[in-house]
Amino acid sequence: MLKARIAVLVSGGGTNLQALIDAQKSGSLHDGRIELVLASKKDAYALTRAGENGIEAKAVCRRDFESQEAYEQEMARLIDERQIDLIILAGFMSILSGAFTSRYQGRIINVHPSLIPSFCGKGYYGLKVHEAALAYGVKVTGATVHYVNEVTDGGRIILQKAVEVQEGDTPKTLQRRVMEEAEWQLLPKAAQMICAEIVKDRQMRRKI
């Protein structure tokens, strides 16, 4: 069966990667297959998750390269060699340049732990997003899957899901609820939507 080839870029534990792996196993992500996991840290547990599931995984760390350009060239080499169709940023904390995002225009997506345009952009990542949401006093937050461009969290929105803020929430409890109720559901769903379009387009091209 024809499938879109996916690369997942990670930095830490890889819980969103795990959600994608689980979706692939269950069949809900059936038009795509994870072919490569790239981690920005050598000790990222996401590398272990990938290995345990038979997925090729490599650490590519910015500090190992003389320049951002050289760092991104190595990632691009690995991605292009494997003919990757879709790049998914799943808790990837390394900043990508406009040159990299434009090279894969319309082919990179990211999951962000807020309802964009709230609590997004430069400086809003990880627990900082949830700290800001609680400090502002919002009653509803959530997660967003969007395309990636040269503007941080500025690409077109694909999917969003709201999550209620509960009395007594801390940044950590809110983070966990947003992951469980929104991120882990939205990201595989968005991946399947895009992979289905990629497969459909490829099938149409074969008929021409």
Query: Which two three-digit tokens encode residue 101?
Result: 């995002």
pLDDT value of position 102: 95
pLDDT value of position 74: 97
Measured CA to CA, the distance from residue 88 to residue 107 in angstroms comes to: 8
**How many domains would you assign to the chain?**
1
DSSP letter (8 states) at residue 1: -
pLDDT value of position 112: 96
What's the CATH code of the domain at 69?
Answer: 3.40.50.170
pLDDT value of position 208: 64
Rounded alpha-carbon distances, angstroms, from residue 2 to 30, 57, 126, 191, 192: 10, 22, 35, 15, 13
Which residues, 6+ apart, have CB-to-CB distance to 204 below 8 Å? Answer: none
pLDDT in tens, the chain (208 residues): 889 999 999 999 999 999 999 999 999 999 999 999 999 999 999 999 999 999 999 999 999 999 999 999 999 999 999 999 999 999 998 889 999 999 999 999 999 999 999 999 888 988 999 999 999 999 999 999 999 999 988 999 999 999 999 999 999 999 999 999 999 999 999 999 999 999 999 888 877 6
pLDDT value of position 95: 85
Residues annotated catalytic, as ranges: 112
pLDDT value of position 122: 87
DSSP letter (8 states) at residue 206: H
Give the domain range for residue 144: 4-207
Phi-psi region of 65 (alpha: psi -120 to 50; beta: other; left: phi over 0): beta
pLDDT value of position 104: 97
Omega before 117 within 30 of 0, i.e. cis: yes
